[in-house]
Amino acid sequence: MSVEVNWQTTRPTIRERTKFMLNNVLFSDVKFVVRKSASEGELESMEVIPAHKFVLSIGSPVFEAMFHGELAETRDSIELPDCEYESLFELFRYVYSDEVNLSGSNVMGVLYLAKKYIVPTLVEKCTGYLQHHLDPFNVLSILPIAEKYEEKNLVDRCWKVIDEQAEATVKSEGFATIERSLLEALVVRDTLSIREVDLFQAVDLWAMKECEKQGLSPSCGEQKRRILGEPIIKAIRFPVMKQEEFAAVVLQKNILTPDEVIRFFQYFSSTLHTPVGFSETKRSCVSHDFLRCGRFRYVAADSCSYDGRKDFLIFTVNKSVMLHGLCLCGSENKTFAVTLEVKELKEIGRHDSTVVSITGTFSSKLLQYKSSNYYGFEVLFDSPVNLRRNVRYRIEALIAGPDSWSGCTGMTTAESSGVEFSFFSSCCVGNLTNQEGGQFPEFLFSLEV
Q: Check if the beta carbon of residue 255 is closer than 8 Å to that of residue 403.
A: no
Report the residue count for the chain: 449
Is residue 276 scored above 70 in pLDDT?
no
Which pLDDT does position 377 carry in this prediction? 92
Task: Region of 403 please: left (phi>0), alpha (psi -120 to 50) or beta.
Answer: beta
Closest alpha carbon to 236 in 221, 225, 252? 225
Confidence of residue 280 (pLDDT cuts 50, 70, 90): confident
Q: Which domains does the chain carry?
A: 7-132 (3.30.710.10), 148-268 (no CATH), 290-447 (2.60.120.820)
Which pLDDT does position 274 carry in this prediction? 67
**235 vs 4, which has greater pLDDT?**
235
Is residue 88 scored above 70 in pLDDT?
yes
Is residue 2 scored above 70 in pLDDT?
no
Is residue 429 scored above 90 in pLDDT?
no
Determine the straight-line distance between the first and last CA of the chain, rounded to whole angstroms: 69
Kindly report the three-state secondary structure assignment for every residue of 190-222: CCCCCCHHHHHHHHHHHHHHHHHHCCCCCCCHH
**23 vs 268, which has greater pLDDT?**
23
Q: How far lies 240's CA from each of 118, 195, 330, in Å?
A: 48, 9, 28
Residue 92 DSSP code? H
What does the pLDDT look like over 203-242, one tens digit per residue?
999 999 999 999 999 999 999 999 999 999 999 999 989 8
Confidence of residue 413 (pLDDT cuts 50, 70, 90): very high
Is residue 288 scored above 60 in pLDDT?
no
Looking at residues 319-330, what average pLDDT do you find? Answer: 94
Q: Check if the beta carbon of residue 284 is closer than 8 Å to that of residue 406.
A: no
Which residues, in sequence order, are bridge partners of residue 445? 291, 323
Q: How far lies 156's CA from each of 112, 122, 159, 178, 222, in Å?
A: 19, 20, 5, 18, 35
Which pLDDT does position 373 carry in this prediction? 82
HSE-CB of 123 using CA atoms within 13 angstroms: 18
Q: Are strands 404-410 and 413-416 parallel, antiparallel or unpaired?
A: unpaired
> DSSP 3-state assignment of 78?
strand
* Amino acid in position 160: K
Instruction: Give the list of residues 6+ apart from residue 445 with CB closer than 8 angstroms, or none.
Output: 290, 291, 292, 293, 321, 322, 323, 324, 387, 416, 419
Which pLDDT does position 449 carry in this prediction? 57
Looking at residues 245-262, what average pLDDT do you find? Answer: 94
Is residue 243 scored above 80 in pLDDT?
yes
Residue 248 DSSP code? I
Which pLDDT does position 41 carry in this prediction? 66
Provide the whole-model pTM. Answer: 0.68
What does the pLDDT look like over 24-75, one tens digit per residue?
999 999 999 999 987 766 778 899 999 999 999 999 999 999 999 988 888 8
Which pLDDT does position 287 carry in this prediction? 45
Residue 426 DSSP code? -
Is residue 351 scored above 90 in pLDDT?
no
Which pLDDT does position 286 carry in this prediction? 45
Lowest pLDDT segment from 72-86, 355-369, 416-430: 355-369
- 283 C-beta neighbours (distance < 10 Å), count: 20
